[in-house]
Structure 1
C-alpha cells in the first residue's frame, strides 16, 4: 500500500501543517544595500563580524540567528527537539560548531544551496509525524569563505565570468512548531538529482535549472494542481540565466509559470551591484524566505507560494577531476492562515 501521507511520486502532505512561528536573518553589507535590504533583521558591515577569520564570522552569524529565532518563539534551547542545519564549508563546520554551542540534538544536512528548504521539509516531517514539538532549522554562507573553498584564494581577486553568481553573506533560521501562529507548511516535494552534463563550476544556474524544473513539474503532477493555484513559484539561486532556462524547461513540460516565477538570487541584488548573474549560497534562499517572502505572507500580500531550494552538488575535487555538476531542488508549500 502507498504511504498514507504521500501524494504521487515525490510529494508528501502534512495532516497537521507545522507552523513557522519565528524567523531571524542577518546579511552582509552588499546584501543590505540590495532591494531587499530593509527586510532583513540585521546588516553586518564587517565581513569578519568582529572575529579573526571569515569562517568564524560566518559561524557567529549562524549562531546569532539561531538564538534570535528561538527567543522570538518564546522558547529556550532545551525546548527545541531537533536542530537541522547546514552550510557550504567542508564538513558543514559552521553548523557543527553552532550545534556544539547550542546543545540541541543535531542533524547536520548538506544539500548545497538547497539546504534551507531541505531542512524545512525534513523538520515539517518530524513534527507532523509526531516525533517533535519544535524544530529549529537554519543555514549560513559567506562570500569570502565560499570563494576560497570552491574557486580561488579570495585575496587573489580573480575576475569572474559574467555568468557567475555572488555567494550571499548571511544566515537565516526558523522555528517550526506543532502549534502557534504564523504561516504553515502544507506540502513538501523531495527532488531527484538531475545532471544534464553541465560542467562549468561558475555556471551553477545552468546546472541547477533542470532540477528546479523537474521538481516543480513533479509537484504539480503529484498534487494535480495547475500553476495558477500558487501566487508565486520561487527558486533559491538560479540567477538570471538559470531562471530563464528553468522557464524554458517548464514550458517544454507543459507549464507556463512566467507570470508567477521569481528567483531569490535575482531578487536579492540589483543590476547596479555587479553581482553578475545574481546571488547564490545557502543564505540566498534562507534570508529571502525568512525575510521578505514570509513577511509578504504574514501581511497577506502572498497567500500561497511554492518555494524551492536549489543546489549544485559539486566539490573542489570533483571539479578538478573534470566531473559534471549535478543539481538538486527541494520544495515546500508555504501558506498564510
Structure 2
C-alpha cells in the first residue's frame, strides 16, 4: 500500500465481490429502484420499534451481499458498519444476530465509505480474506433523534432533505475475476465551513466534499474527465449546486453527480432530496456497482459526505464539522 497525504493506493487487488441493498417502502419509487435487492412493505413490522426494524434491515442487506457473493455471512471474517442512531445501536444489534467479528464506525453519512476503506486495509494487510462493509439509516428513527418525531407534523424548509430508509453493504474479497476493484481511497479531513443550520446539510458538507475530491485528483494525478462519474452522497440538490460552483471545471455538469439529489427524482415532497447513511450506500452498492459490473462505467469515484453534529452540539450553538471519505473503483477484466 502507498500512502500519499491521505490517499491510499492499494497494491493488492481488492474486489467488491457483490453487494446487498435493502430499502423501505417509500424508496420503491426512487430513481434507483431497479437496482435494489429488496423493498420492505413497512418501515417497521407489527410490535417492532423503528430501531429493531433498522437492525433487521442491516441483517438482510448483509445476507443479500453474502448470498450473491456465493458465501454465507457466518463465513465472513469481519463485519464493518455504521448508522446514525445513538451508539450505533441498530448496527450493534444486527452484529449481535450475525455473530461474526465486528467493527462499528461513525462518520455520519460518510460511514459507508469509511467502512469500505477499513475493510480494504484489512484485506491489504492479509489479516482478513472476506469483509462485509457498509452503512444504513432508517427514516423514522433518524427523524426522531435529530429533529422531531413524525407525529409532531412539523413543516420543513426547502433546504431540508429526507432521510432514506436503506441499508447497503458490500462483500470485499481479493483477486477475483471480472469484478470491480477498489484501487485507491482518500481519507477525509474534518472541514468546518461555519454552517449552523441542521436543516441545510448540503451547504455544510459541500466544502468537505470539495477538499476530498481535490486531494484525490491531485494525489492520483487525475482530472475529472478521467472518470465516468464522480458521485457524492448526499449533498442534495442545493449542496451539489454549491459544490459544482466551487469547481471551475467544464466537466462538472455531467461527471459530478449526487446520490441524494437524484434519489427521489424531481418530487418536491422531498425538498432538497435524499440523505442518511443509507442513501449513498444503496446507490453506490446498487446502481453504480451494477454499471461497473456491466462495463458501462470503467472508472468511478464514490464520495460519501457526513455532518458530524449531534442534537446536543446543535443546542450548544456549535457549528457543523463535516467529513467526506472516497474510494476509487475500476472495472478490470482479469484472466
**Range class of TM-score, shorter chain:** over 0.9
Partner residue, 1:18: 14
Q: CA contact under 8 A between 2:23 and 2:165: conserved in structure 1?
A: yes
Matches within 5 A, 1:1-337: 5-6=2-3, 8-181=4-177, 182-251=179-248, 257-272=252-267, 274-337=269-332
Distance 1:110 1:188, change over 3 A: same
Post-superposition Cα deviations, 1:153-200, rounded to whole Å, max 9, x if no partner, equal 221010010000000011111110013242110000001000010000
| Alignment TM-score, normalising by the size of structure 1 | 0.95
**Structure 2 segments unaligned to the other structure (5+ residues):** none
Contact 1:49 1:60 in 2 (8 A): no
Kept in 1: contact 2:117–2:185 (CA 8 A): yes
Distance in 2 of aligned mates of 1:55 and 1:198? 29
Unaligned ranges ≥5, structure 1? none
User: Shift of residue 27 of structure 1?
Assistant: 0.9
Q: Render the CA deviation track for 1:44-73: whole Å, top value 9, x for unaligned.
A: 121114452111111111111112212222
Deviations 1:138-158 (A, max 9, x none): 211111100010011221010
CA distance in 1, matches of 2:283, 2:38: 13
Aligned-partner Cα distance in 2 for 1:273–1:79: 44
Give the whole-Å Cα distance in 2 for the aligned partners of 1:233 and 1:46: 33
Runs of 4+ with >4 A deviation? none
Distance of 1:95 and 1:287 partners within structure 2: 16
Whole-angstrom CA distance in 2 between matches of 1:241 and 1:233: 17
The alignment partner of 1:18 has SS state of strand
- Distance across 1 between alignment mates of 2:274 and 2:67: 29
Q: What is the distance in 2 between the residues matched to 1:257 and 1:49?
A: 42
1:296 counterpart SS class: helix
CA distance in 2, matches of 1:288, 1:49: 24
Separation of aligned partners in 2, 1:68 and 1:229: 32
The answer as to whether partners of 1:217 and 1:250 remain within 8 angstroms in 2 is no
Cα pair distance change 1:255/1:125, threshold 3 Å: farther
1-side partners of 2:42 and 2:274: how far apart? 19
Secondary structure, counterpart of 2:312 in structure 1: helix
8 Å Cα contact 2:55-2:91 kept in structure 1: yes
Tell me how far apart the structure 2 counterparts of residues 77 and 169 of structure 1 sit (CA, whole Å). Answer: 22
When normalised by structure 2's length, the TM-score is 0.96
